[in-house]
Amino acid sequence: DVKVTQSSRYLVKRTGEKVFLECVQDMDHENMFWYRQDPGLGLRLIYFSYDVKMKEKGDIPEGYSVSREKKERFSLILESASTNQTSMYLCAITWGAPQTGTEAFFGQGTRLTVV
């Protein structure tokens, strides 16, 4: 089974703090994604990476950065947290299953509250 693990289920941080959200996958997949999920807006893509040290901006990258130093780990960084970054953050991986083609799997999510 594919396993995508996010380091924290719940986080509370103060405005201005630097925040790290970690995502680890155990299947040597290349493609990793960070989304934020807000009511009525669905999942919005923040950043993604197709390989180590590679990163691409998604639809809403402002206020975020990412790091991919190792294949299994993709970190989302909030340089200076703000209250409008309070949200549920979801990490996902995609892979091309030999029999069925590309599929996506999600971590359990990190609910971040910035106060």
Partner 1 sequence: GENVEQHPSTLSVQEGDSAVIKCTYSDSASNYFPWYKQELGKGPQLIIDIRSNVGEKKDQRIAVTLNKTAKHFSLHITETQPEDSAVYFCAALTGNQFYFGTGTSLTVIP
- Write out the residues near partner 1 by the rule CB under 8 A: 4, 6, 9, 31, 33, 35, 40-43, 45, 48, 50, 90, 92, 94, 100-109, 111
Nearest-Å Rg of the Cα atoms of the chain is 14
Nearer to partner 1, 1 or 14 (CB): 1
To partner 1, the closest distance from the beta carbon of 16 in angstroms equals: 27
To partner 1, the closest distance from the beta carbon of 108 in angstroms equals: 4
Nearer to partner 1, 69 or 101 (CB): 101
Please state, as a whole number, how many other Cβ atoms lie within 10 Å of the Cβ of residue 35.
23
- E strands in the chain: 4-6, 10-13, 19-25, 31-38, 42-49, 56-57, 64-70, 73-78, 87-97, 101-106, 110-114
To partner 1, the closest distance from the beta carbon of 106 in angstroms equals: 4
From the list 36, 81, 72, the residue with the least C-alpha distance to 51 is 72
Nearer to partner 1, 15 or 24 (CB): 24
